[in-house]
Amino acid sequence: MRALTGIKPTAMPHVGNLLGMIEPALRLQHSHDAFYFIADYHALTTVHDAERMRTYTREVAATWLALGLDPARTALFVQSDVPEVCEIAWLLSCVTGMGLLERAHAYKSAQGDGRELNVGTFTYPVLMAADILAYDSHQVPVGKDQKQHVEMARDMAASFNSRFGEVFVLPEPLIRDDVATIPGLDGRKMSKSYGNSIEVWADAKALRKKVMGIVTDSKGIDDVKDPDSCNVFALYKLFATPEEIEALATRYRAPGLGYGHAKQALYEVMERRLGAPRERYTALMADPISLEAVLEDGAARARQVAAGVLQRARHATGLRGTPRKNVGGTHPAT
Ligand code: ADP
Ligand code: TRP
């Protein structure tokens, strides 16, 4: 069973990315053949600065490794190291109706912002479908906002298969079921575009400062409080043990706990989880040669699979292609 996911190098990863996607994906490493990549082609729809692109790409790669991606088991690679996906995107675009793309949330919201849109933003879901289908992926761990894109990939695969035969595996999204959307400092979805995020690798001081800035209501120390409607508690639940969660909830419901105390408790459990990985992250960022070796090895593994799938798709459509024996030449279900 293959698990695949991608994350764009558009900023340093935040706690929403960590809890909503990266950690759930890392938990699949033992049960799945995992392919995780850095979606630089997708980032190019918005990042138009080569130096920033390179830096974010390294930061995202180091983030996966610092958090426990095992490169011996899981292929970690950069999307653009597998240019076959661009060709697969073209094949898919020829069976995809404009209406499907016009209904994509991401495009609609970009349109709503009144920005001038590039074609890449419009066809973004086709490239994402190609990413998923290029590797015969079965499950795609993502945050809730990406569910629609994975469903579109499934629709494109079905539409291609109905015309050309069983070429693509139909993927499904895997979404964290306890908490689908991680809240940010202001209680809305944590997102780099809302400016309400906590960077995963903020140092201890900056992390504490961010936590102290979480928005709460104005209840005083002796007012009883509702943990279930509090942003601080919502994040605490994601970092603390069940006993700690129960204990803090009890303190919320009695006088004597100020929000400052709750924030300090949150900071401590976050620092406990992130402190050691932060040191690994710093070491990885200081060793670009080792990082590059991991990415090259991941790309070689990914590319071999994508080349086989592309070959299959070319053959099915009547495009020319050199038949390559035993390289994904048959549908894996057969
Ligand atoms: P952002 O919304 O900050 O631009 P991305 O779109 O780069 O984040 O998200 C990368 C991955 O992290 C996606 O799978 C996305 O669904 C997930 N993700 C991002 N923010 C959150 C959040 N607040 N809660 C849950 N998952 C999230
Ligand atoms: N669109 C995803 C995001 O914004 C990133 C992405 C690109 C992706 N290709 C993918 C995620 C394939 C999962 C599978 O977060």
Could you tell which of 46, 145, 181, 231 is best to mutate to test the pocket of ligand 1, judged by most ligand atoms within 8 Å of the CB?
A: 145
Measured in Å, residue 188 CA sits from the centre of ligand 2 at: 21
Per-residue pLDDT, averaged over 295-322, amounts to 95
For ligand 2, whether the C-beta of 146 sits within 6 Å is yes
For ligand 2, whether the C-beta of 142 sits within 6 Å is yes
Q: What pLDDT score was predicted for residue 322?
A: 63
Q: What pLDDT score was predicted for residue 328?
A: 57
- For residue 116, name the pLDDT band (cuts at 50, 70, 90): confident
Q: Which fold has domain 2-181+288-317?
A: Rossmann fold (3.40.50)
Q: Does position 80 have pLDDT exceeding 80, yes or no?
A: yes
The model's pTM is 0.93
Q: What pLDDT score was predicted for residue 108?
A: 83
Q: Does position 330 have pLDDT exceeding 90, yes or no?
A: no
For ligand 2, whether the C-beta of 79 sits within 6 Å is no
Q: What pLDDT score was predicted for residue 334?
A: 44
To the question of domain 204-284 being in CATH 1.10.240.10, the answer is yes
Q: What pLDDT score was predicted for residue 258?
A: 95
Q: What is the three-state SS of the chain? A: CEEEEEECCCCCCEHHHHHHHHHHHHHHHHCCEEEEEECHHHHCCCCCCHHHHHHHHHHHHHHHHHCCCCCCCCEEEEHHHCCHHHHHHHHHHCCCCHHHHHCCHHHHHHHHCCCCCCHHHHHHHHHHHHHHHCCCCCEEECCHHHHHHHHHHHHHHHHHHHHHCCCCCCCEEECCCCCCCCECCCCCECCHHHCCCCECCCCHHHHHHHHHCCCCCCCCCCCCCCHHHCHHHHHHHHHCCHHHHHHHHHHHCCCCCCHHHHHHHHHHHHHHHHHHHHHHHHHHHCCHHHHHHHHHHHHHHHHHHHHHHHHHHHHHHCCCCCCCCCCCCCCCCC
Q: Does position 62 have pLDDT exceeding 60, yes or no?
A: yes
- For residue 19, name the pLDDT band (cuts at 50, 70, 90): very high
Q: Does position 333 have pLDDT exceeding 60, yes or no?
A: no
Per-residue pLDDT, averaged over 269-280, amounts to 98
The domain ranges of the chain are 2-181+288-317, 204-284
Measured in Å, residue 301 CA sits from the centre of ligand 2 at: 19
For ligand 2, whether the C-beta of 15 sits within 6 Å is no
Per-residue pLDDT, averaged over 306-311, amounts to 97
Q: How confident is the model over 140-182, as pLDDT tens digits?
A: 999 999 999 999 999 999 999 999 999 999 999 999 888 878 9
CA-nearest residue for atom 13, ligand 2, is: 5
Instruction: State the chain's mean pLDDT as an integer.
Output: 94
For ligand 1, whether the C-beta of 196 sits within 6 Å is no
Q: Which ligand has the minimum distance to the alpha carbon of residue 60?
A: 1
Q: Does position 278 have pLDDT exceeding 80, yes or no?
A: yes
CA-nearest residue for atom 21, ligand 1, is: 16
Could you tell which of 46, 56, 85, 146 is best to mutate to test the pocket of ligand 2, judged by most ligand atoms within 8 Å of the CB?
A: 146
Measured in Å, residue 127 CA sits from the centre of ligand 2 at: 9
Atom of ligand 1 nearest to the CA of 145: 16
Atom of ligand 1 nearest to the CA of 183: 23
Q: Does position 85 have pLDDT exceeding 70, yes or no?
A: yes
User: Which of 58-67, 98-107, 254-263 shows the lowest mean pLDDT across its residues?
Assistant: 98-107
Q: How far is CA 22 from CA 129, 309, 329, in A?
A: 19, 26, 32
